[in-house]
Amino acid sequence: MSRKIKDESSPILIHVVLITFTAMTIYPLLWVLTIAFSGKQSLAIALLPENPTVWDRLRAIIPFPETVSLANFIEVITEKNFLVWMGNSAIVATLTTLLGVFLSCTAAYAFSRFKFPGQRAGLMSFLVSQMFPGTLMMVPLYIIVVQWLNLGNTFWGLILVYSTIAIPFCVWMLKGYFDTIPIEIEESAIMDGASRTVIFFRIILPLAKPAISVTALFSFMAGWNEFIIASLLMEEEKMYTAPVGLKFFVGEHATQWGSFAAGSIIVSVPVVLLFMYTQKYLVSGLTAGSVKG
């Protein structure tokens, strides 16, 4: 296919289409960058005069601020507890990633390599759990985490919830990947006298690096981006995570678009960087299992 395109259709046309799509894709992000660096709280890139000309209108669309200023960033960092919230998010997301990857890898390995009663039922139940509406779980989750486990307003409450919620998707993905790793590798290791634990940690996990990276990425994103459960479980302002805190800027009373934009960028940068870093694994990690099947 690839050679085909190159042979028959003009690469310029392809580039035109791709550039158009890419421009549309990144425009909203450029817009938020513009607002963030404008130093103003308004969501207009440029204010229009009384009778705007075509150029005035064009100026209001082009995503580049009239004056470049860091005022919004400084305000976000200094005025609110923003750094505390970022720190909270970092703790929650990191521990969610560690716990989520551990839980998913062990379970996925068992589902991929062992035959045992309840295997099919377990996998099916994971799949069905993706259909559970979040709204159905929220009131019971609150009761369990806050009243029974006594983990309200703590990081551990959030970490446990996030890492569990990410399990089903990660297990399915990892199982698909583990299935593609030839079983002969393990069999020869067993011949050499290696135990299951050794095989799991020394052979399987390194081989499954792409899928595990993707699992880690998704677990991290689950912990870093979620705000509904976080606002449900966290009562004190100093325990908020960054997404919950960000909602302050676009609250019901005032919309501080400039601060919100600056805050969004600070919040997004770590996860975007991580995403870009993991990108090379994304394709193979996500689709290895299903391609084979």
Between CA 63 and CA 165, with CA 264 as vertex, the angle to 5 degrees is: 135
Exposed (0-12), middle (13-18) or buried (19+): which is 122, by Cβ within 10 Å? middle
For other proteins, the binding residues in 88-127 under the rule CB under 8 A are: 102-104, 106-107, 109-111, 114-117, 119, 122, 125-127
Q: Which stretch binds other proteins (CB under 8 A): 54-62, 69-77, 181-189, 233-241?
A: 54-62
d(CA 104, CA 264): 30
Structure tokens at 282: 């994304």
- Considering beta carbons, is residue 188 or 290 the nearer one to other proteins? 290
In the stretch 268-287, what mask flags binding to other proteins with x, by CB under 8 A? x--xx--xx--x--xxx-xx
Among 86, 95, 165, 199, binds other proteins (CB under 8 A): 165
> Is residue 144 at the binding interface for other proteins, with CB under 8 A as the rule?
yes
191-250 residues in contact with other proteins (CB under 8 A) are: 196, 221, 224-225, 227-228, 243, 246, 250
Whole-number minimum distance, CB 278 to other proteins, in Å? 10
Q: Are 211 and 174 in contact (CB under 8 A)?
A: yes
* Ramachandran bin of 153, using left for φ above 0, alpha for ψ from -120 to 50, beta for the remaining angles: left
Distance, in Å, from the CA atom of 173 to the CA atom of 143, rounded to the nearest integer, reads 31
Binding segment for other proteins (CB under 8 A), chosen from 25-33, 70-78, 90-98, 183-191, is: 25-33
Q: With CB under 8 A as the contact rule, which of the stretches 74-82, 90-98, 167-175, 185-193 interacts with other proteins?
A: 167-175
For other proteins (CB under 8 A), the number of binding residues is 105
Distance CA 173, CA 177 (A): 6
